A and B are shown apart, each in its own frame.
Chain A
Amino acid sequence: MERPTILTKSPARASTRASSILPFPVTARFNPTALLILYAFVLALGLGLGSASRALKGDPPFGGVRLGPWEAWPRLGSPEADPYMRAIVARRGEIPLATGEGFSLTARADSQGRRLDAGCSYRIGAVTPPARLWTLTLYDEDGRLAASDLGRSSFTSSEIIRNPDDTFAITVSRGLSSGNWLQPPAAGTFFLVLRLYDMPGAAGANLAESAFPTIERLECGS
């Protein structure tokens, strides 16, 4: 309250000016409404962008099918793909297999639900649904092809060595194994992708879990 008196010596004028140059103008007063509006906007942007980027980094939240250890999104390659699927495909830059072209399934865990680990050995078998051709590919946790010491990271249905009853078994282990052998990366986790090309019927429809290979954990060495 000293500034008006410094500016002028006349007490009458000081009182008239004091009202116009009040040291605390109305707008600087604590205003909860403005703060709350700002808070609502920050909350909307933060939550909205955060949840959207989280959703885009993961797997499509809807339309998934689980068949034993295998997970698939049958509508991913169809015109009925939902907006999450489209956004995730665009972000990953991938080209999904179209319905009618093939069907792809991913396994990140074994048949008991334990994460696939490079320190363990697994047996994959023994049947797949009918398809003109299938491939089983092993990727490391970053999605790169994990080539074994023999330079192999995948099997196709025509390369596989089958048992007399037409079943098959693929061994995944660090150490060399006879028969169908895939080698996981040196450490960490890995995942498998089974692709069935030219399946009869609509992809993903009427498929039973028993038609898909199981992933059995054999042992976990040091």
Chain B
Amino acid sequence: MRLRNRFLLATLVGIVMAAGVHVAVILAAPRYAEQDAFGKILPTISAEQAQIVSPPGGRDTWLPLPDPAVAVAACAFDLDDGPARIAAKTGSLFLSFSFHTKTGGVFFAVTDRAAVRGDLEIVVMTARQLDEARAAEDENEPSRDVRIVAPEQQGFVVVRVAAPAPSLRAQAEEAAKAVACTVDEAE
């Protein structure tokens, strides 16, 4: 019955290798996904304003399970071009930013509670750009930028503005579209 033992061994080896294949597929899936949110937002990378992903009402969107009471807009950034500056004027409507990378998921989120006098402004940069910005800074006049370090070069910012009542939907969409995403020029 040597053949049976060899068959059992081959089955065992197959199962162990299957576990490896499973882990490899799961780990590689975000990197090779093409229909993910990043792939859909990336074409708008050159826009200076956030682009609407899901208007309030939840119609005409690729976003799965849209919340009809929330306007979702997004802008992509590529830190190779320089730090990305995301700025919004906050009003009475709930507004939030969340920062995503393609493979690493969410790395930061902030709501309009963090706004200073009606302005919410975040600068996304790489660790190297942060060092450079610090080195270039005037000690007597420190920058008031809120800086966050992104784990990857490319990513996207998602803006959500809530419309608590249907009559506020147009206003929420306007507020989401008005968010500016600009590239800071290298000094």
The one of B19, B20, B26, B37 that contacts A95, using a Cβ cutoff of 8 Å? B37
Asked if B164 and A51 make an inter-chain contact with CB atoms under 8 angstroms apart, the answer reads no
* Interface residues as binary, B65-101 with A (CB distance below 8 Å gives 1, 0 otherwise): 1111110101000000000000000000010101110
* Interface residues as binary, A168-179 with B (CB distance below 8 Å gives 1, 0 otherwise): 000000000000
CA–CA, A133 to B92, complex, Å?
12
- The reply on A81 being an interface residue by CB < 8 A is yes
Asked if B165 and A93 make an inter-chain contact with CB atoms under 8 angstroms apart, the answer reads no
- The reply on A164 being an interface residue by CB < 8 A is no
CA–CA, A102 to B111, complex, Å?
10
Asked if A91 and B29 make an inter-chain contact with CB atoms under 8 angstroms apart, the answer reads yes
Can you sample 6 A-B contacts with CB below 8 Å? A39-B7, A87-B33, A133-B69, A197-B94, A197-B96, A198-B113
Asked if A81 meets B18 with Cβ closer than 8 Å, knowing A156-B69, A159-B165, the reply is no
B82-132 contacts to A, CB under 8 A, are 94, 96, 98-100, 103-111, 113
Closest CB in chain B relative to A73 CB, distance in Å: 12
Asked if A83 and B27 make an inter-chain contact with CB atoms under 8 angstroms apart, the answer reads yes
The one of A87, A89, A153 that contacts B26, using a Cβ cutoff of 8 Å? A87
Main secondary structure of the interface of B (DSSP, over half): mixed
**Minimum CB distance partner of B16 in chain A:** A44
B156-174 contacts to A, CB under 8 A, are 158, 160, 162-165
Asked if A93 meets B40 with Cβ closer than 8 Å, knowing A49-B25, A135-B70, A156-B164, the reply is yes
- The reply on B36 being an interface residue by CB < 8 A is yes
Asked if A98 and B109 make an inter-chain contact with CB atoms under 8 angstroms apart, the answer reads yes
**Minimum CB distance partner of A132 in chain B:** B94
- The reply on B142 being an interface residue by CB < 8 A is no
Residues of B within 8 A of A43 (CB): 10-11, 14-15, 17-18
Asked if A79 and B106 make an inter-chain contact with CB atoms under 8 angstroms apart, the answer reads yes
Closest CB in chain B relative to A82 CB, distance in Å: 9
Asked if A101 meets B111 with Cβ closer than 8 Å, knowing A36-B7, A40-B11, the reply is yes
- The reply on B47 being an interface residue by CB < 8 A is no
CA–CA, A42 to B21, complex, Å?
11
CA–CA, A46 to B11, complex, Å?
12
Residues of B within 8 A of A89 (CB): 30, 36-37, 105
* Interface residues as binary, A73-113 with B (CB distance below 8 Å gives 1, 0 otherwise): 00001110101111101111111111111100000000000
Asked if A102 and B26 make an inter-chain contact with CB atoms under 8 angstroms apart, the answer reads no
Asked if B96 and A101 make an inter-chain contact with CB atoms under 8 angstroms apart, the answer reads yes
Closest CB in chain B relative to A200 CB, distance in Å: 10
**Minimum CB distance partner of A36 in chain B:** B10
Residues of A within 8 A of B64 (CB): 92-94, 143
CA–CA, A193 to B139, complex, Å?
49
- The reply on B3 being an interface residue by CB < 8 A is yes
Besides the contacts A94-B37, A98-B106, A101-B98, what 6 more A-B pairs have beta carbons closer than 8 Å? A47-B14, A48-B21, A91-B35, A154-B68, A156-B164, A195-B70
